[in-house]
Chains A and B, each alone.
Chain A
Amino acid sequence: GAVVSQHPSWVICKSGTSVKIECRSLDFQATTMFWYRQFPKQSLMLMATSNEGSKATYEQGVEKDKFLINHASLTLSTLTVTSAHPEDSSFYICSARGQGGYEQYFGPGTRLTVT
């Protein structure tokens, strides 16, 4: 149980375009989803926390207008990187937590390359 999927697993886009990443909880209802970014050989960086049906809470320094998060259902959250730039190239990972649960389960991640 507690499986989280992400799509796509990798994506290459041109500078200035937008990219949408989907995160799905496959066998549980995720009341809270988290989005992280990880640069090579660096630690996880929490970008934002989203609760189903509510606006996401962004961490300090993360531009909410650039990283659009939608958590419209208990099994799906999306992250849209708008007007992507090469410095946005990174490994984006979502995680999900069920109602009343304490454990976070991670998706496999999406590797974004902006050219």
Chain B
Amino acid sequence: QKEVEQNSGPLSVPEGAIASLNCTYSDRGSQSFFWYRQYSGKSPELIMSIYSNGDKEDGRFTAQLNKASQYVSLLIRDSQPSDSATYLCAVNDRDDKIIFGKGTRLHILP
């Protein structure tokens, strides 16, 4: 059973601090990794994709990938109340199907 695991949270982070979201996956053959943000009552929105080991930065967001450890993370710098949402980790498995984690609820404290 291919799995993507996330801590459900809620993760509470003070405004202005760094929020760190983590994800592990079971399929070693996975090659593509994504982070989606989902506000309550809305559909998921793609915020980051990463395909190779290391860091990828886009504005306040940094995705980190370690394939040897089967670990993906998302860092949000200078957290804002508008970042409060559920963050979904998603992994493309070797059958080219995206497996979603159950999501981590992030709460930015004003």
Contacts and interface: CB of A to CB of B under 8 A. Distances in A.
Interface residues of A, number: 17
A13 B32 CA distance: 39
- Interface range, B side: 20 to 34
A35 interface: no
A43 B3 CA distance: 14
B43 A102 contact: no
Contacts of B32: 102-103
Interface of B: 31-32, 34, 36, 41-46, 49, 51, 88, 90, 92, 97-98, 100-103
Interface of A: 2, 34, 43-44, 46, 49, 91, 93, 95, 102-109
Lowest 6 CB-CB distances: which A-B pairs, in order?
A109-B43, A43-B102, A102-B32, A106-B43, A93-B43, A106-B44
